[in-house]
Each structure stands twice: as structure tokens, then as C-alpha cells.
């Protein structure tokens, strides 16, 4: 099945697939940032693959100069009972990626959480607010340069 997915994607988007990796049976495909929505639309619409659910979507801060952030899409196909992971590298100075809420409505809150935790902007998201932290909060806690103990006085306490 894994070979079939790679083969189909290679045929459809020869330039979008930047790399593949298989570890413990999990297939990870690295996709070019600008093509993510087109690839997702194809994966969902294709009758054979039919990745109709987005199970999870999250960010990873790799803390490196090139492609600092990774956005991970964990897709699931009800038909094939199969997981697929997509990975997109996003640079620090242009931390914007197209939203896939148009493909799967369920990506909405996951993208909000990723924006909240990493500060990645999702272009075309209908309601890009913070998920957990207060709206005025200026930091993004899951970035590697944010200390685990927090930053003192960064959240105003309630008035007495």
C-alpha cells in the first residue's frame, strides 16, 4: 500500500514530493509547502486512496536554520484503514502555510492550536484565534526558545 501511495503521488505531482521515509511501518511524505492544499485535495478525492479524515495536525519546532518548523498532517483513510503522515517544512522568517480547512473541516481547531503553540500562520483559515492561551499573549509556548518554566509576568493576573 505504501508503495502505491508514493507511486500515485509521484505520477500526479512529480515536483511536490520532496522525500519519503518509512519508520516502524509509518509512512511519512515530505511535501513542498506551496503544494500542500493541492496534494491534500488529491489524497481526499482519489477514489482508491480516499484519505477522508484528518486525525491530527500539529507543528514541530526542529530549531534549525533552514526549515525550522514542520507541520505534520496525520491522515486516515476509512476505506483502506490506513494512516498517512505528511510533513511540510516552514521557514522561520516566512512562517505561513495554506490552510487545509477547505479540504477537511476538522482541521480547523488543529490549525488554531498549531498557530497558538508555534505562531505559524495558516492562510485562508476562517477563524485563526488562539486555542488555549489568552488572545493577548505574545509568546508561543511550544517553540524551543520558550522556557518550560514560563516567562514571569507574561500573563496579567485578574484585578482584585
Partner 1 sequence: MAIRTLEEPKKSQILTALEDQDTTVTIDDSLENEMVLNMGPQHPATHGVLRLLVRLNGEIVMACVPELGYLHRGYEKIAEGSTYHEFIPHTDRLDYLSPISNNVGYVLAVEKLLGMEVPARAQYIRVLCCEMSRIASHLVAVGSMGMDVGALTVLLWTFREREKILDIYDVLCGARFTTSYTRIGGLQQDWTAQCTAMLTRFLDEFKEDLGEVEKLLSHNRIFVDRCENVGYISRENAIAMGMTGPILRASGVARDLRQDNPYLVYPELDFNVITLTEGDALARFYLRIAEMKESAKLLRQALQKLPQGPVNANEARRVLPRKERVYTKMEELIQDFMIVNMGVDPPVGEIYQGIESSKGELGFYIVSDGTGHPWRMKIRAPSMVNLSAIPIMCKGAMISDIVAIIGSIDPVMGEADK
Q: Which residues bind partner 1 (CB under 8 A)?
A: 23-24, 26, 28, 52-56, 58, 60-61, 72, 74, 78, 81, 83, 85, 104-110, 117, 129-136, 141-142, 146, 148, 156
Which distant-in-sequence residues (6+ apart) come within 8 Å of 58 by Cβ?
A: 71, 72, 74, 110, 113, 114
CB-facing half-sphere around the CA of 79: CA atoms within 13 A: 11
Shortest Å distance, C-beta 39 to partner 1: 18
- Among 154, 38, 8, 10, CA closest to 102: 38
Shortest Å distance, C-beta 111 to partner 1: 11
Dihedral sign for Cα 53, 55, 58, 60, please: negative
Q: Which is nearer to partner 1, 94 or 148 (CB)?
A: 148
Q: Which is nearer to partner 1, 14 or 66 (CB)?
A: 66
CA distances from 100 to 5, 71, 135 (A): 20, 12, 23
Shortest Å distance, C-beta 59 to partner 1: 8
Helix (H) or strand (E) holding 42: helix 36-45
Q: Which is nearer to partner 1, 38 or 130 (CB)?
A: 130
Shortest Å distance, C-beta 128 to partner 1: 12
Q: Which is nearer to partner 1, 37 or 60 (CB)?
A: 60
Q: Which is nearer to partner 1, 12 or 80 (CB)?
A: 80
Rounded to whole angstroms, the Cα distance separating 62 from 69 reads: 6
Shortest Å distance, C-beta 132 to partner 1: 4
Amino acid at each position: 500500500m505504501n508503495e502505491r501511495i508514493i507511486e500515485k503521488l509521484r505520477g500526479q505531482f512529480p515536483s511536490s514530493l520532496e522525500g519519503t521515509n518509512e519508520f516502524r511501518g509509518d509512512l511519512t511524505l515530505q511535501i513542498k509547502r506551496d503544494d500542500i492544499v493541492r496534494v491534500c485535495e488529491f489524497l481526499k478525492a482519489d477514489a482508491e486512496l480516499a484519505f477522508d479524515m484528518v486525525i491530527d495536525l500539529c507543528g514541530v519546532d526542529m530549531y534549525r536554520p533552514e526549515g525550522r518548523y514542520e507541520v505534520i498532517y496525520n491522515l486516515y483513510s476509512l476505506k483502506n484503514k490506513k494512516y498517512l503522515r505528511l510533513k511540510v517544512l516552514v521557514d522561520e522568517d516566512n512562517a505561513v502555510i495554506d490552510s487545509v480547512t477547505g479540504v477537511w473541516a476538522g482541521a480547523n481547531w488543529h490549525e488554531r492550536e498549531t498557530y497558538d503553540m508555534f505562531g505559524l500562520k495558516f492562510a485562508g483559515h476562517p477563524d485563526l484565534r488562539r486555542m488555549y492561551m489568552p488572545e493577548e499573549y505574545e509568546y508561543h509556548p511550544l517553540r524551543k526558545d520558550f522556557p518550560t518554566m514560563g516567562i514571569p509576568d507574561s500573563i496579567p493576573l485578574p484585578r482584585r
